[in-house]
Amino acid sequence: MNLSFNVEKIRQDFPILSKKINNKPLIYFDNAATSQTPICVIDCIKDYYEKYNSNIHRGVHSLSDEATSAYEDARNKVKDHFNIKYSEEVIFTSGTTHSINIVSNGFSKILTKDDEIIVSGLEHHSNIVPWQMMIESSGAKLKVIPLMENGELDMDEFANILSLKTKVVFLNHVSNALGLINPIEKIINMSHEKGAYVLIDGAQSAAHFKIDLQKLNVDFFTASAHKLCGPTGVGFLYGKKELLHRMEPLMGGGEMISDVTFSKTTYADLPHKFEAGTPNISGVIAFGRALDYLNEIGLEKIENYENDLLDYANSKLKQIEGLKIYGESKNKTSVISFNIEGIHSYDIGALLDKFGIAVRTGQHCAQPIMDHFGVDGTVRASFSFINTFQEIDDLFEALKKVKSMLS
């Protein structure tokens, strides 16, 4: 157990943790859906509106300068945190879904009907639907990396479906439904050998460990601020410069142009070409502050502590008879997806709420994974560094009560 990690002190940074739910202290085990927000990030948003609320990149006045430089500082924070080479390779978006749509839209104009794209069977709907839409417009074919029995990707099958026809491979770094960590280094290298580009959806992974994008040599990467202690409605897309130059923007409007007449518009340079309209300025600045916060604690410490929580939760939950865990592997983040025999996942989640415990139930935006396991949903408890071992004991006791009440 990790005694050097002062979780009680960290918990004081999160005002929401003093809230009561159904007269019980809130136990928040839905971190994979959205993380809670520390006071420094909340203050950062408040500060913006109180002290320098102004539109960016346009004004000649001082407030606008201040807002612009805070916004561009945040871009540099993302660049440094993920070890990206050029700041113009960081595009602020409304989140992972928006980022993926930028790439799928860009490629829909580049691909032809002889091309193939590959997605994994472990995907969030946001990494399936945009590609299906893209296929309809380009005629390219979609191939899927199948899952092995425990939910891990079948890498032999990946090697089989990967070919010189493959143009793009899309997959998440960590599955949101199961917490499985995919072997992305291997997938990126194998794909590059065939000349295919790779987009990694890092919405789940970025909160748990440090990611070095230059070392990974990945072509596109995306994450959402609200899963990284930041605000909702903000995220970023990283793309290699030469690829971003080749792609058409998803949205047209102000900020993204260099010259407009009614006959022709030329696009602005990167990253502005992909940032049409007034962005979520306070959100972007607060996203930068959230990354600072995570780095002040240290992602390595966070990772170790969360692994300890996961081990502990695994050993506790397995003591409950009839409880089945999906996606067991040693390569996992702190997520446990489970069912209890004879009880519907929704009923478990609704009763846990009576005990003040927040979990997610259902398909977790990943219906193909549920189909793979032959279930219509699971209960997902996702732990983060704000959780305690005591809370896992409380979950264990609550689940025993739920079981005796419902079975």
Ligand X SMILES: *Cc1c(COP(=O)(O)O)cnc(C)c1O
Size of the site for ligand X (CB under 6 A): 13
Q: Closest approach of Cβ 341 to ligand X, in Å?
A: 27
CB 87 within 8 A of CB 79: yes
User: By CB under 6 A, is residue 37 in contact with ligand X?
Assistant: no
Taking the C-alpha atoms of residue 266 and residue 12, their distance in angstroms, rounded to an integer, is: 50
Task: Respond yes or no: is residue 365 known to be catalytic.
Answer: yes
The residue from 40, 44, 229, 365 that is catalytic is: 365
Q: Closest approach of Cβ 225 to ligand X, in Å?
A: 8
Span of 55-63, 124-132, 248-256, 320-328 interacting with ligand X by CB under 6 A: 124-132
Which long-range contacts link 110-113 to residues 24+ away (Cβ below 8 Å)? 110/138, 110/167, 110/246, 110/247, 111/138, 111/139, 111/140, 111/167, 111/168, 112/138, 112/139, 112/140, 113/138, 113/139, 113/140, 113/141
Residues in 167-226 at the binding interface with ligand X, rule: CB under 6 A: 172, 176, 201, 203-204, 224
CB 100 within 8 A of CB 222: yes
Span of 122-130, 186-194, 266-274, 325-333 interacting with ligand X by CB under 6 A: 122-130
Q: Closest approach of Cβ 95 to ligand X, in Å?
A: 3
- Tell me the backbone φ, ψ of residue 72, rounded to 5 degrees: -70, -30
| Identity of the residue, 68 or 175, whose beta carbon is nearer to ligand X in the bound complex | 175
Interface map 61-100 toward ligand X (x if CB under 6 A): ----------------------------------xxx---
| Identity of the residue, 208 or 403, whose beta carbon is nearer to ligand X in the bound complex | 208
Please report where in the chains the tokens 């506790």 appear, as a residue. Answer: 316
| Identity of the residue, 68 or 105, whose beta carbon is nearer to ligand X in the bound complex | 105
CB 164 within 8 A of CB 195: yes
- Tell me the backbone φ, ψ of residue 194, rounded to 5 degrees: -95, 5
Q: What is the dihedral of CA 164, 169, 173, 175, to 10 degrees?
A: -120
Q: Closest approach of Cβ 405 to ligand X, in Å?
A: 31
Contacts of 354 (CB under 8 A, 6+ apart): 22
Count the alpha carbons within 13 Å of 360 in the hemisphere toward its beta carbon: 22
Interface map 287-326 toward ligand X (x if CB under 6 A): ----------------------------------------
Which residues of the chain form contacts with ligand X (CB under 6 A)?
Answer: 95-97, 124, 126-127, 172, 176, 201, 203-204, 224, 235
Active-site residue set: 365
